[in-house]
Every structure is written in structure tokens, then in C-alpha cells.
Chains A and B, each alone.
Chain A
Amino acid sequence: MSVYEEFKVLSADGSAGDHDPGLSDEGLLHCYRTMLMVRAFDDTAMKLQRSGRIGFSIPNRGIEATQVGAASALKTSDWIFPSYRDFGMPIYHGVEVVEMMHNMFGNALDSAKGRQMPVHFSFEDPIRFVSISSPIGTHIPQGVGAAHAMKLRGEDSVALISFGDGGTSSLGFHSGLNFAGVWKSPAVFLCQNNGYAISMPTEKQTASDGFAVKGEAYGVPGVVVDGNDLLAVREVTREAVERARAGEGPTLIEALTFRMGGHSTSDDPTRYVPEALVAEWEKKDPVPRFEAYLASRGLWKEGDREALYEECMAEVKEAADVAQATEAPSLETIFSDVYEEVPDHIRAQGEAAFDLLRRKGDAAAGDGEFPL
């Protein structure tokens, strides 16, 4: 049990007392639809991977309320420094699922031009969702640097920096929180404690009493929130964002949630996650919990989920078809964007590759499978 009390808004039956979510009915339904869209995207990505149409994906099932609740507290002038399991954040802010699918297929319309693995999204519009890299925690001090730039210019923006429980052991977590504490950066650290870092349970990740407490050593206040309670995550993130905008410095949020699938499409979680634990968290599924709340406000009825999910599925499937039908990036994209201008030696290597293509035909694609 954490020394911090877990903040909750929604009870199991969906009642929220007199809590004001600060969202219109339409806004609440947008949150709900985003969670279902993530679920449809997840389910589709899993099928695409199983049928060999894409190489890899990252399941988000179980943690949608954390992603959407946190994203809902941001303005589009804010920046997101995401983890690789944050699909709900760009979707909430209006990134089209087809843009994400272009990345999943690594095609010519992918913003990363096919240079990255699937799920390594990069968007700048309608919100800055900064290019994801695979090394863990490197983006944490970067988010602090971006936040420092906002502060120096006197902007009314914040950086939301998202990472998992495993990320708290990285070099970047410590340097990032330390710098943000010293600089009083307009940064919000979101630790999504979803129980496991690939196969590592949290008790093997840290001997400390949870993760929120780690902020104290850096002068960064911590807060623990029920990560499956969308309104609670939204509320603590709003408070942290307000603090940051007011120049009062950073906050470390620990959202308690659970990854209901594997680490990735290549991972078999039954090898290390006890069945009873999965069953326990299945009961805390954030989607029906939010539905109960919507129903209490007359915004939801039986059958709505199926209808809306079907609508999301149709959109995601169409996006997948469009992305799959889009051509692969051209050979030129290997050699561009290394620098603003292509240096002579890289240009020469590119010309040699094109020359070989003309003389000997194209290289054969490998059949490698990603193991992690």
C-alpha cells in the first residue's frame, strides 16, 4: 500500500457524487469513443500482426482511461512526450487513425517514412506528440528541456511526459525529475504503473513504496491516482497542468492501472502474469466503469458499446486497408533527413544504391520476425 492515498472519482457503480468533470456531454462521449477507438485499433493491430500484414504492435487494453484522462487535460498548444503505449493520446486530440496505420505499415505516407518500427509514432499536428524512440526514459529530460523553453518564453504551455513503471529505473527519470525540480519546469510526469515492465513485476523494479514518492527526493510533489478511473486521471492531470501553467513547477503522477495484454504482439504474458491477477483487474475494466457513469447521466444505454465499437472498427479496418495499399517508401528515404542537407558521402552512397538497383534489380526483403 502506498503512503499516498489513491485518488478516485468514480465508484464501481459509476457514481461520481457531485464531481464536476469540466466536460460537456459531447466531451464525455468523445472520451468514451476514444477509448473504444483504441480498443478497435488494438484488436485490429493484433489481427494484422497474426495474419502477417504488419510485424508488430503494442496492446493498450486496460490502460485506456489513463491515456485518455491525461490527454483530456491538455490543450493542443501543449506537448506530449509519449511512451510507446499511449495510442489514446493522439486519437483524443484528433490524429486520424489512418495516420497511425501508415506508421504501422511503414509506408510512404508514414510520418517517419518507414524508418521506425510500428507504434513509433510522430505527430506535430493537431498536437505535438513527439517522435517515440525505443530506448527507455531518454525522452524524460527532453520533455523537461522543451518545458524549460516554454518557461523562458513565458508561454502558457506544458509538457506531459509519459512513461511506465520500468521507466522509473532509467537514467532519464532521475535526471529529468531532478532538472525539473531545480528549474521548476512546467512539466507533468505521468508514470503509468501498469504492473509489469515486459515481464518484470513492479516489486522487482523498485523497493520503494510505489513510484509517486520518488518525486519527493527531487522536490517534485507526487500524487497517486486510480488509472482506470478516467475522471480521476483527468482531475489530477488538470491540477498538475494548472500548477505548471501557474509557474508552480512539476508534478509526478502515478496512475495505478493494469496491462490486460502482453507487452507486445510477440509476448506471451501467461508465462509470467498470474491468472488470478488478470481476473481481478478484468473486473476493474475502465470501459464499463465509465459507461456506468455515462448511464447515470443519461448518456449511455445497453447496446451503445457494440454499435460504437463497430463504427470504430469500420474506420480502423478501412484505415488499415488504405495503409496497406499505400506504396512503400522510396529508396531515397534511406538517405534523406540524416542532416538538413545531404552530405556528399551519403549522396554518393545513395547514387551507388540506385545504380545497383538499375543493374542488379531490387534487394529481397528479409523474413525476420521481431522477438520482443
Chain B
Amino acid sequence: MANLTLLQAVNDGLKNAMRDDPSVLVFGEDVGPKGGVFLATEGLTAEFGEERCFDTPLSEDGIIGAAIGMAMNGLRPVAEIQFQDFIFPAFDQIVSEAAKLRYRSGGQYTAPMVIRTPYGGGIRGGLYHSQSGEAYFCHTPGLKVVIPSTPHDAKGLLIASIQDPDPVLFLEPKALYRSVKGEVPEGSYSVELSTMRTAREGDDVTVFCYGAMVPVCEQAAESAAASGISVEVIDLRTLYPLDEEGVLAAARKTGRVVNVHEAPRFCGYGAELSAIIAEHAIEHMEAPIMRVTGFDTPFPNTLEHNYLPDHRRVLDAIERVHAF
């Protein structure tokens, strides 16, 4: 066991995957000798050489397009998009190509690949270094969407994603890169995709969250406990395909649900969670299913701490559904 930050765990996961499988390659903008703008790929070129960890021209479309071609021809590419905000030139490659290749070729061609990209606020990055675009991708059959919130899961989910036979979008909560530390086993291990984690057990209210919102929700749960409300915090870990049965069981357990994410509310991931719970477990609900989200505005810079859901807003929603 080593005590690592989430960023170090990502780095460790990449190194282990590359040691285990010579077909794993890492590439993107500035990921080579520099080690990436956040240093997630630090040391990879030194250990594995320029053929296996290299810089690419500044073209997200080219990075993902080339990754698809490599994946269909036997490699396991792990492509980095420097910020999730810059992924949109590659949207066509991800949504029209990687996600549909297996289906449209009847399984003749596939794209087993991982797209790693830091997402979310908390670094004073303004409009274009802070967004949470998970909902765009969760609306795309053929893709898997994974978001870790702990160092242990970051490494285990990343290795599982690299080994997965289908394309995975691996969103890394950049706000947690250096702010969380935890025990991480040595060597390779995987955390099964489409499984959730109970971050905190409780009986009165269930909070569903992921990524950088997990510690925020844990803090809110701690505050709620002080006033006698027992809160269960579920870290979803894989947003798509979702462990729907697990979500429903956790919702039925308390009958009071709050869904939390930093992305805008309208058509956000919380809307899907609310719909699944309403469709299959409405008879167990004791209160309206609530959402705590970013606002339906672009992401602000100076006032980002007002935009991002914090423990006050989550606690307020917990108290409301509890009092209903």
C-alpha cells in the first residue's frame, strides 16, 4: 500500500497498465517529456520510450480519430484530452465513430480505447477549463463513462477501463487531483465498471453523487448527522452503463433522495437518476426527488465557489427532503 493523491494514482494506473500490456499507448498534447499539464503522465516517456508515450499535434479530432484507428488495429490507446472543455472538436469521432463502430460493422471492427480527460471546476479555470460534460456522453450508446473520486478507485477503474473491450470516457475530477489522498495497493488491480460504492452508510436520506461532489456530499452528511439526520452517500463511479438496480435499492432504503452534480441542471445526469427512481420506485418515495447542481448558466470564474454545489447547498436539500 502507498498513500497517494488521486493524480499519483492515475499515474500509477497508467504505468501498471503499460507494464502489463505492451499494446497500451499513451498520447495527447504535452503528455510526453513534460508529463501533461497536471503531470498525470509524468515519467511514462522515460520508462516506456517515445513509441509508447508521445506528444501529438494540437488537434483533438486527430488525437481521437487516430486512437480509433489504432484501437481497431490491435493497440490499446489511452488518449488524453488536456481539458474536457476542449473535447468538442472530437465529439464527432467519439459519438459518431468510436461509440458506433462495433454496432455498425456487426462486430467486425471495434474501438477498445480510453479517453482520459480532467473535468469540473475548482481551479479558477473559468468558462473553458471547468465544465462537466458527462451528460453529453452518457446520452451515447456504445460509450462507457467513468468518474473516480478516490485514489484507490482512480487506479482500479482506470486499469479496468483500459482492459475493457469498448471505448471508455474516463473523466478525472481535477479539483481532487491533489486534494485527496488515500491508500492505493501496489501493482495491478481493477475495480469493476458499472458498480457503485457506498461512501457513507445512512438510513434517512440517500445522496447520489460522483467525482468531485463526493467529498462535498460526505461533508454535508457529516453536518446532517450533527442534527440527527442519517445520510447515505452513494458514489456512482460508472455513470454509464449505470448500476440501475443498485441505485433503486439505495433509493428504496431511505425513500428520500438528493442527486448532486456540478454540471448544469437541465437534462443533467440528475434528471436521469430522478426519472429512473420515479419510474421504478415512486411508491417508496416519502419526499420529492431533489437535485443540487450547477446553475443553468455558463461556468463563471471569480464566483465559481457560488456556482459549484457546496456542503451548504447539499445540506439544505437534505434537510428539505428529510422534513417533507
User: Which residues of A does B touch, CB under 8 Å?
Assistant: 79, 81, 110-113, 115-116, 120, 122-124, 130-131, 133, 135, 138, 140-150, 152-153, 159, 171-172, 174-176, 178-179, 182, 337-340, 343-346
Contacts and interface: CB of A to CB of B under 8 A. Distances in A.
Contacts of A148: 66, 69-70
B105 A111 contact: yes
Interface stretch (B9-17, B91-99, B311-319): B91-99
Contacts of A176: 62, 65
Interface stretch (B181-189, B229-237, B238-246, B284-292): B238-246
Contact of B61 (A141, A147, A182): A141
Contacts of B71: 145
15 contacts: A112-B106, A116-B104, A145-B67, A149-B69, A171-B92, A175-B62, A178-B57, A182-B57, A338-B102, A338-B103, A339-B165, A339-B166, A344-B244, A344-B245, A346-B141
Given A135-B92, A343-B194, A111 B108 contact: yes
Contacts of A344: 241, 244-245
Given A130-B72, A337-B107, A142 B65 contact: yes
A345 B96 CA distance: 21
Contacts of A178: 57, 59, 62
B57 A179 contact: yes
Contacts of A140: 65
B87 interface: no
Nearest to B57: A178
Interface in B264-298: none
B61 A122 contact: no
B66 A145 contact: yes
A345 B241 contact: yes
Contacts of A172: 61, 65
B81 to A, nearest CB: 14
B73 A149 contact: yes
Interface string B10-27: 000000000000000100
Interface of B: 25, 51, 56-57, 59, 61-62, 64-75, 77, 89, 92-93, 96-97, 100-110, 141-142, 144, 165-166, 194, 241-242, 244-245
Given A133-B97, A339-B142, A345-B241, A179 B103 contact: no
A112 B166 contact: no
Given A122-B104, A133-B104, A142-B65, A179 B73 contact: no
A317 to B, nearest CB: 25
A141 B70 contact: no
A121 B165 CA distance: 23
A79 B141 CA distance: 27
Given A178-B57, A179-B62, A146 B69 contact: yes
Given A133-B97, A138-B97, A175-B61, A145 B69 contact: yes
Contacts of A150: 73
Contact of A113 (B64, B68, B92, B106): B106
Given A152-B51, A338-B141, A339-B165, 10 more contacts: A112-B106, A122-B105, A131-B104, A131-B108, A135-B97, A145-B67, A146-B70, A178-B57, A179-B56, A338-B102
A233 to B, nearest CB: 24
A124 B89 CA distance: 29
